[in-house]
Amino acid sequence: MFRQLSIGVRASAAFAIIGLLVLALGIFALNRLAVVTDQMDFITDVQVPAVDNVNDLDREFLRVRIHSANVTNFVNDPNRLPGYMDKLNEAIESLKRNQDEYSNSIENAEAREKFNQYMALDKEYWTLHDQFEKLVDAQLTDPITSLRENRILPLTDEISAALDEMLALEMALIADATEQAGDVATSANIGVITALIVALILMIVFALVLTRSIVVPIQQAVEFAQTIAARDLTASVEIDGNDEATVLLKQLQRTQNELRESIAKISESSEQLASTSEELSSVTDDSTRTIQQQSEELEQAATAVTELTTAVENVASDAQSASEASESADEQAQLGNDRVRKTVTAIEELSQEIGDSSNSVTELANKVTDITKVLEVIRGIAEQTNLLALNAAIEAARAGESGRGFAVVADEVRSLAHKTQQSTVEIEDMVKAINQSSDMSVTTMKRSMEKATSTLDIAREAGEALKQIAQAVSEINTHNTSIASAAEEQANVARDVDKNLVSIRDLSNSTASGAEQTSASSQELSRLAVDLNGLVARFKVS
């Protein structure tokens, strides 16, 4: 029930109850003290003045007796008697004042009765005193003496006895009041002590209950926290109540649950991390070996491209030589054509011209043979270039994303090689045609030598053949120029390919270095995962 209240409310309630007990005890003590004070005030204000009044009555009555005796003794002395009479009257007046004061202060019925008895005797005394004064005025000594001795003195004894009874009664009343005050004080002491004991018992009970309601859950929280600190996350605790300690236990339990879940997730993650790091290390090792192999293959490809560049440059040089030879052949064809025209106009010079034409045709045949050789070289170079471009494309495909640019260059080289092959085929066809024409020219020259009469017709045929030769040579020159340009382009492309291969090789080396660093990092990551598993294993979660 107490645990449903907060510690502040419980403490406030306990201190409030203790405060109420102290307040009740104070009120009770003040009440008893007020009773004792009333009793003491009654004694001081009523009983003590009453005793004083009775003593005053006794004293003044004694003065009256003394002065009466003096008057009796000096009744016949006119000089001294008036003085004693004055003192007697003064004592009588004082006695009456004291009687009035005492009568007004009487509160007790018994004291009032004693006072009434005294006043009855006093009345009788004053009756005798009147007789005494008359006898004094008459200066009758013997009657005065007889009156005093026989009647006044016995009455004064009774009055004195009555005053003594009154004084005894007042003293008894003081004693009773004092005893009552003592009883009240005793009862007050007993009541205060009893209230103190009850308050102390209640305070102890409240203190024990309050302390237990605070200490027990706090002790549970401390033990629970010590269990968590000991890395045991499987302990459970009973939570009951709605106070601060309950909130603390709930938060500790929540912390335990979250810590247990976090440790479990960390354990699972560390295991996955260890497995992943091992796989990463294995993959990195494979990648390193692959990259090293690619680097070696790229080195070979770079060497091949360098050789390709040299071969293409040679092709360009040969194509330039072929172009120069074709220009020379074109000039010779023009010269033969001029001579044919001269043969038409000058038959006399036919033999000489035929001889020259025969020499020219022979020389042309030799040049054509040279062109055929050059074409074979160009064809071989084109085939080798195509093969190298194919190999480069294969290596670029192996290089993956980093070899994509190199693959494009290889495709361009292969396209140029294909065009070169087509051009050599066309040139070869033309050379074959030239060979055929040359053979026909040689045959014609032989026939011309045998048959001079048909020189004009043969010369015309030779002119036509020379025209065809000139056209063929012009075409050969054009193709040679194209071959030279293509070869130069191939050389430039090969140089670019070589540069790209060098860049790819450098990237491959950098990648290999990064792969080695990645492998070292993965091994370090695996070690850290093992250490993390060791730390997590120190916690008991199930």
For residue 7, name the pLDDT band (cuts at 50, 70, 90).
low
pLDDT value at residue 304: 72
Are residue 209 and residue 303 in the same domain, yes or no? no
Mean pLDDT computed over 169-188:
83
Are residue 214 and residue 299 in the same domain, yes or no? no
The domain boundary residue, chosen from 183, 198, 223: 223
What's the domain count of the chain? 2
Yes or no: say if 419 and 499 are a contact pair by the CB < 8 Å rule: no
pLDDT value at residue 489: 80
Mean pLDDT computed over 374-382:
77
Domain that residue 128 falls in: 2-223
Yes or no: say if 486 and 311 are a contact pair by the CB < 8 Å rule: no
In-domain check, residue 531 = no
For residue 189, name the pLDDT band (cuts at 50, 70, 90).
confident
pTM above 0.85, yes or no: no
For the chain, helix, strand, coil in percent to 5 are: 95, 0, 5
Residue 289 pLDDT exceeds 60: yes
The strand ranges marked E within 238-348 are none
Mean pLDDT of the chain, nearest integer: 77
pLDDT value at residue 508: 67
Are residue 7 and residue 154 in the same domain, yes or no? yes
Instruction: Give per-residue pLDDT as tens, 93-112.
Output: 888 898 888 888 888 888 88
CATH of the domain at 113: 1.20.120.1730
Are residue 213 and residue 114 in the same domain, yes or no? yes
Yes or no: say if 481 and 320 are a contact pair by the CB < 8 Å rule: no
In-domain check, residue 403 = yes
Are residue 179 and residue 93 in the same domain, yes or no? yes
Instruction: Give per-residue pLDDT as tens, 406-461.
Output: 677 778 877 877 887 787 778 778 767 777 876 787 687 678 667 767 766 776 78
In-domain check, residue 138 = yes
Q: Helix (H, G, I), strand (E, B), or coil: what is residue 357?
A: helix
The domain boundary residue, chosen from 200, 223, 246: 223
Mean pLDDT computed over 30-40:
74
Are residue 214 and residue 343 in the same domain, yes or no? no
CATH of the domain at 437: 1.20.120
Are residue 19 and residue 137 in the same domain, yes or no? yes
Are residue 178 and residue 300 in the same domain, yes or no? no
Which tops the pLDDT comparison, 494 or 269?
A: 269
In-domain check, residue 230 = no
pLDDT value at residue 201: 92
In-domain check, residue 257 = no
Are residue 134 and residue 48 in the same domain, yes or no? yes
In-domain check, residue 277 = no
Are residue 70 and residue 168 in the same domain, yes or no? yes
In-domain check, residue 229 = no
The domain boundary residue, chosen from 208, 223, 238: 223
* CA separation, residue 359 to residues 446, 456, 463, 505 (Å): 12, 19, 15, 58
Are residue 95 and residue 203 in the same domain, yes or no? yes
Select the highest-mean-pLDDT range: 38-42, 132-136, 333-337, 341-345: 132-136
In-domain check, residue 252 = no
